[in-house]
Amino acid sequence: QLQLVESGGGLVQPGGSLRLSCAASGDSITAIAIGWFRQAPGREREGVACIDSSWRGGGTNYADSVKGRFTISKDNAKNTVYLQMNSLKFEDTADYYCARRDWRCSTSARDFDSWGQGTQVTVSS
């Protein structure tokens, strides 16, 4: 059974960068899509970025709010998906989660399962 563990969150100033990691165990990420989501206090969970399974070509998609600033990537050898976050803004403050879906990405969090415990990102001066 696949388990996902996020790490890499922290406190960063506006304009700074962080790289989040989503480490998988119990199964390979080769055949699955991995999505990054975030949830700020009092707000619904929203999709940030997603990467299709390698078998589908590993295509990526992003929320409009992070396009050009965030990059999702994967290292199949390490069974890990990354989220590189640059030019961070106050509004990026949230708990960030990764989750899996069979085969290809979806924009709906309801289509994902095996959620990690989350990692907190705080953008503050």
Q: Which of 112, 36, 116 is nearest to 69 (CA)?
A: 36
Sheet of 80-85: strands edge to edge? 3-7, 18-25, 80-85, 70-75
Q: What is the DSSP letter of 78?
A: T
- DSSP summary character for residue 26: S
Residue 93 is which amino acid? T
Please identify which residue in the block is written with the tokens 């989350």.
118
3-class DSSP state for residue 44? coil
How do the pLDDT tens digits run along the chain, 125 residues long?
Answer: 899 999 999 999 999 999 999 999 999 999 899 999 999 999 999 999 999 988 888 899 999 999 999 999 999 999 999 999 999 999 999 999 999 999 899 989 999 999 999 999 999 99
